Every structure is written in C-alpha cells, then in structure tokens.
Amino acid sequence: KAGVTQTPRYLIKTRGQQVTLSCSPISGHRSVSWYQQTPGQGLQFLFEYFSETQRNKGNFPGRFSGRQFSNSRSEMNVSTLELGDSALYLCASSRGPNTGELFFGEGSRLTVL
Amino acid sequence: AQTVTQSQPEMSVQEAETVTLSCTYDTSENNYYLFWYKQPPSRQMILVIRQEAYKQQNATENRFSVNFQKAAKSFSLKISDSQLGDTAMYFCAFMSSLNQAGTALIFGKGTTLSVSS
C-alpha cells in the first residue's frame, strides 16, 4: 500500500513569504504529525492532528500552523518566513494516538532566501 | 521534560562486523516506548526496532537488537553482520504513553553510521 506522501518535495521561498506543505497519510491512518529537521536543532516535533483536531503542539511560534481534513490529509503552513525556517519538514502518520509506531514521508525541503 | 541523548555523532564499521549505537534518555514515567529509526541518505525515516518499557525482554528484528536497561535509562542498538545498506543516520526516540502526549516523538541528535567494504 502507498506510503506517506508529501508535496512539494523541494521549494524555495524568500523571507516574509508564506508556505503551505501537504501530507497524505497511509490509508486508514488517522493521526498525522509534523517534524522539523535542521542540522543544528535536529528533529523537533511541531504538532499532531487526529480526527481533524490538534492533539499536541511543540514549542514553535504561532507562525507555524496546521490542519487536518476529513480524509486525514494534513497541511502545515508557515507564515512570514524567516531564514531559520529553512529545514526538512517531515510528516508522519499512524493509526491513532499512542499506537507506538510512526511512518514517515520523504519530507519537504524548504529553503528560505 | 523528557530528553534523549546519543553520545556518538559518528561511527564507522566494516562489512560483516558488529556495531553498537548508544542512547540514554531521561523520563519520570514508568510506561513509554523507545524506538530506533534509520534515515538513509534518501532521507525517508524507517523504523528499525521498537521497545515497550513494560516488556523486560529485549526486542530483536533480524540483525538488529537492543539492550534495554530500564533502571539505567539506556537503550542501545546492536547491528550484527553490518551491510553497506546499513549506512545511514540512526535516531533514538522516546514516546510517552500518556494520552495527552499523543504520538509526539522526542529524538536524539542522531548517530551517522558508515559501513565500508
């Protein structure tokens, strides 16, 4: 069965712009979470959605937001981009909360100039 | 707050050898999950092995096994008969079993493993 699909894979933006990233989870998975990966900070949890509701949120500013649709697909948005937002953004899906295993997508590589 | 520490930024090993990656963590919880994830150069994160804290038996998956020492809060990964395809960054991760924590993973900084022929 198809894995977690993230689009776009690569994108370049300039400071002050906003960006929307998309994630389609594995069929049947209802929980989607997002992570930011940078060389300096490593992998950091952004937020998690389950049944269209945000269940948990990491320590990121309000410029980072997300949502989940009724088909479990999720989007995350970053507004007023800063240079430090350049990162690999990973999406992961699971059957539900506390199931103990996440399946990751290949990520969206964001470069902010 | 929980933390995960991987003290070996880089390791190298030859094919067919055995290598052990270290991970320590800190938590006040009694029940939780621990994971090792592998991220090859293509960047997709793949689950290598998972351990539930309430299980005393160490998890094994083919050539991969863990040494889970709950009291010491240690969770090392042993790779036996290393293969070139094992070259990747390996992340140790913690997941709380508390309902409000959802599926949030806390990752270590990672260990880059290079396997050479």
- Band the pLDDT of B41: cuts 50, 70, 90: confident
pLDDT digit string (tens) for A19-65? 999 999 999 999 999 999 999 899 999 999 999 999 889 999 999 99
Q: How confident is the model at residue A110 (pLDDT cuts 50, 70, 90)?
A: very high
- Cβ–Cβ of A48/B106 closer than 8 Å? no
Alpha carbon of B2 to those of A19, A80, B29, B96, B107: distances in Å?
Answer: 31, 31, 9, 9, 10
Q: What is the pLDDT of residues A1-22, one digit of tens each?
A: 679 999 999 999 999 999 999 9
Choice between A95 and B100, residue whose per-residue pLDDT is larger: A95
Shortest CA distance from A88: residue in chain B: B43
Amino acid identity, position B26? D
Residue A98 has pLDDT above 70, yes or no: no
Q: What is the pLDDT of residue B99?
A: 67
For A36-100, what is the HEC assignment? EEECCCEEEEEEEEECCEEEEECCCCCCEEEEECCCCCEEEEECCCCHHHCEEEEEEEECCCCCC
Does pLDDT of A75 surpass 80?
Answer: yes
Task: Check if B101 contacts A (Cβ < 8 Å).
Answer: yes
Count Cβ–Cβ pairs < 8 Å, chain A vs chain B.
Answer: 68
Q: CB burial class (10 A; 0-12, 13-18, 19+) of residue B50? A: middle
Q: Band the pLDDT of B109: cuts 50, 70, 90.
A: very high
Confidence at residue A1, expressed as pLDDT on a 0 to 100 scale: 64
Q: Is the peptide bond preceding residue A8 cis, with omega within 30 degrees of 0?
A: yes
Q: Do A106 and B42 touch (CB under 8 A)?
A: yes
Residue B105 touches partner A, C-beta closer than 8 Å: yes
Give the residue-averaged pLDDT of A66-70.
97
For residue A94, which residues of chain B lie inside 8 Å, CB to CB? Answer: 103
| Residue A99: per-residue pLDDT | 67
Tens of pLDDT, residue by residue over B66-99, are 999 999 999 999 999 999 999 999 999 999 877 6
Say whether B108 and A45 touch across the interface (CB within 8 A): no
Nearest to residue A5, comparing CAs of A39, A37, A40, A32? A32
> What pLDDT was estimated at residue B51?
94
| Backbone Cα Rg of chain B | 14
The number of C-alpha atoms within 13 Å of A113 and in the hemisphere containing its C-beta is: 4
pLDDT of residue B42: 73
Q: What is the percentage of chain B residues whose pLDDT exceeds 70? A: 97
